[in-house]
Amino acid sequence: MVQSGVHPDEEIRLPGRPGFGDAIAGKKAVTGMKKQADAKKVLITGGLGFIGSSIARRCVSEGRQVTLVDACLEPYGWNLFNIRDISEKVRFVRGDVRDPDLMDALVSGSDVVFHMAAQVGREISMENPRLDAEINCIGTLNVLEAARKSLKPPVVVFAGSRGQTGEPDVLPVDESHPDRPTDIYGINKLAAEKYLFLYQQVYGIPVVSLRLNNVYGPRCQMHAGFYGILNWFMANAMTGKPVTVYGQGLQTRDYVYIDDVVEAFFLAAFNEKAFGQMFYVGSGVETVFLDMARQVVRAVGKGQIVHVPFPEQREKIDIKRFVVNTVKFRTATGWQARTGLEEGVARTAGYYRQWLEHYLNRGKT
């Protein structure tokens, strides 16, 4: 069910900011923008979340006109604190990608859409597959339909996932690997990506899909452990709670730092060579899960790692090993990950030493 939509009364109005209703009425809705001849109008769905707000910060620093749309759904990573330092320079609309009229209104006139809004929980997708399909499939279709109806269609950059791939046949995984998702989330992300390419092929809308690995860093939610596990471990280590590792923790992942991911989204959005393609985005380094936990404890300076049995439902959908080869993306755009795990974890710890309470008590600070 769509929980909020276009009605102006429902949006959160940041202090002194004009609202969505003003924009619809054709009034000047964005003030204080740095005027640039090449300023691009950017829409970010899921814009209060970890990756969306990080992309927003970069857009603002480049003088782009930014609109964020976010439904502020639980239990995901939206946080007004994520945009505290740019709130005067962005327009925020509280709304849902499942609302087609809202997407029509927001996408039209945008030059670039970073489509980050998603149901992001793998286990949630198994418990509530309909919700996952509504947000991840129908929500993406709404963005694409809105782009199709636009006089000048925007570039649509999609946040895909390694979850689309499933358990790899060979490592490192590259774009030629077959897709065999092990959960509903992966299946719906795959469907959304296929919608993307169909809309490019049939309607000429420029699209890019970046299949992200495990992203970590400042501004990721710290209140739940069902995704963003590195950040969750850091919260637990900082607050004296156990850092719980399922089984022996010998599965492997590819952890990629947020600044590298933001750079990847920019290179994809403003580079025609990337259009119409899917790329893996990761560090290219295979890290044992337990070693990641140890790295977090080292950076925080305290924390106790505790091994607990794998929950049965989780074990069924868990991937044993994963790491990607990013040659295709590097060849197209010049991108490569620059931040190693030790440095990235240290920077993340520095951020949360200062701001942890704003993530543990979201909305109250």
Ligand X SMILES: NC(=O)c1ccc[n+]([C@@H]2O[C@H](COP(=O)([O-])OP(=O)(O)OC[C@H]3O[C@@H](n4cnc5c(N)ncnc54)[C@H](O)[C@@H]3O)[C@@H](O)[C@H]2O)c1
Of the pair 39, 43, the CB lying nearest ligand X is at: 43
Tell me the closest approach of the beta carbon of residue 53 to ligand X, in angstroms. 8
- Residue of minimal CB distance from ligand X? 49
Tell me the closest approach of the beta carbon of residue 189 to ligand X, in angstroms. 7
Using an 8 Å Cβ cutoff, are 236 and 248 in contact?
A: no
Q: Does 135 bind ligand X (CB under 6 A)?
A: yes
Q: What is the C-alpha to C-alpha distance for residues 257 and 216, in angstroms, rounded to an integer? A: 5
Tell me the C-alpha to C-alpha distance, in Å, between residue 330 and each of 163, 170, 285, 336.
21, 20, 15, 6
Footprint (CB under 6 A) of ligand X, residues 259-318: none
Taking residues 228 to 247 in sequence order and writing x for each that binds ligand X by CB under 6 A, - otherwise, the string is x-------------------
Q: What is the C-alpha to C-alpha distance for residues 137 and 193, in angstroms, rounded to an integer? A: 9
DSSP string for 150-183: SSSPPEEEEEEEGGGT-S-SSSSB-TTSPP--SS
List 29, 56, 90, 117, residue binding ligand X (CB under 6 A): 117
Tell me the C-alpha to C-alpha distance, in Å, between residue 280 and each of 46, 106, 114, 170, 175.
21, 28, 16, 15, 7
Tell me the closest approach of the beta carbon of residue 206 to ligand X, in angstroms. 19
Footprint (CB under 6 A) of ligand X, residues 61-80: 70-73, 76-78
Q: What is the C-alpha to C-alpha distance for residues 78 and 319, in angstroms, rounded to an integer? A: 27
Q: Quick count: other Cβ atoms within 10 Å of Cβ 338?
A: 12
List 65, 200, 209, 221, residue binding ligand X (CB under 6 A): 221
Tell me the closest approach of the beta carbon of residue 195 to ligand X, in angstroms. 14
Of the pair 11, 202, the CB lying nearest ligand X is at: 11
Farthest-apart Cα atoms in the chain, separation: 58
Q: Does 139 bind ligand X (CB under 6 A)?
A: yes
List 44, 112, 159, 243, residue binding ligand X (CB under 6 A): 159
Q: Does 155 bind ligand X (CB under 6 A)?
A: no
DSSP string for 233-301: HHHHHHTT--EEEETT---EE-EEEHHHHHHHHHHHHT-GGGTTEEEEES-S--EEHHHHHHHHHHHHT
Residues in binding contact with ligand X, number by CB under 6 A: 31
Footprint (CB under 6 A) of ligand X, residues 189-218: 212, 214-215
Of the pair 67, 221, the CB lying nearest ligand X is at: 221
β-partners of residue 93 are 69
- In eight-state DSSP terms, residue 346 is H
Tell me the closest approach of the beta carbon of residue 221 to ligand X, in angstroms. 5
Token pair in block for residue 116: 């980050």
List 43, 97, 143, 205, residue binding ligand X (CB under 6 A): 97
Of the pair 63, 129, the CB lying nearest ligand X is at: 129
Q: Which stretch binds ligand X (CB under 6 A): 5-13, 42-50, 192-200, 312-320?
A: 42-50
List 19, 46, 154, 206, residue binding ligand X (CB under 6 A): 46
Q: Does 44 bind ligand X (CB under 6 A)?
A: no
List 89, 91, 96, 188, residue binding ligand X (CB under 6 A): 96
Token pair in block for residue 181: 């998702």
Tell me the closest approach of the beta carbon of residue 208 to ligand X, in angstroms. 14
Q: Find, among 119, 124, 339, 123, the residue nearest to 246 by Cα.
A: 123
* Residues near ligand X (CB under 6 A): 45-46, 48-52, 70-73, 76-78, 96-98, 116-120, 135, 139, 159, 161, 212, 214-215, 221, 228
